[in-house]
């Protein structure tokens, strides 16, 4: 089990407000750029970095994207990038998020 910093835990809670799933594509891509600063960026996290959610996305798809966001935050925390990740995620406007309630 990964022990997360207080900042990472607070950020994960923030990401769940308003039934958020993950940021939309352009914002998602920037999360990848932040984590890529750690030269050890895991190839598993690097795969399929774009959340391809649309009106036909299932709940399962949304849960997978939400879990990937959590992995990105955990990775940022582990590699001392959490402050930058936190600042960026909190700057994303609400309309630039995918939500569980969207159809």
Q: What pLDDT band is residue 101 in, cutting at 50, 70 and 90? A: confident
Q: Supply the pLDDT for residue 30.
A: 86
Q: Which residue has the tokens 């959610």?
A: 53
Between CA 28 and CA 19 the distance in angstroms is 17
Q: What pLDDT band is residue 82 in, cutting at 50, 70 and 90? A: very high
Q: Which residue has the tokens 């799933």?
A: 21
Q: What pLDDT band is residue 2 in, cutting at 50, 70 and 90? A: low
Start-to-end CA span in the chain (Å): 34
* pTM score, whole prediction: 0.83
- Kindly provide the b/e burial profile for residues 79-99, where b requires at least 16 CB atoms within 10 angstroms of the residue's own CB: bebbeebbebbeebeeeebbe
Per DSSP, helices labelled H in the chain are 6-16, 25-36, 43-46, 59-78, 82-91
């Amino acid at each position: 089990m990964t022990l997360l910093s207080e900042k990472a835990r607070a950020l994960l809670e923030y990401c769940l407000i308003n039934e958020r799933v993950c940021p939309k594509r352009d914002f998602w891509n920037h999360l990848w750029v932040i984590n890529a600063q750690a030269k050890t960026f895991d190839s598993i996290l690097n795969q399929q970095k774009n959340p391809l959610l649309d009106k036909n996305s299932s709940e399962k798809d949304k849960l997978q994207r939400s879990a990937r966001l959590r992995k990105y935050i955990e990775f940022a925390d582990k590699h001392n990038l959490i402050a930058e990740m936190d600042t960026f995620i909190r700057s994303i406007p609400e309309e630039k998020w995918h939500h569980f309630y969207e159809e």
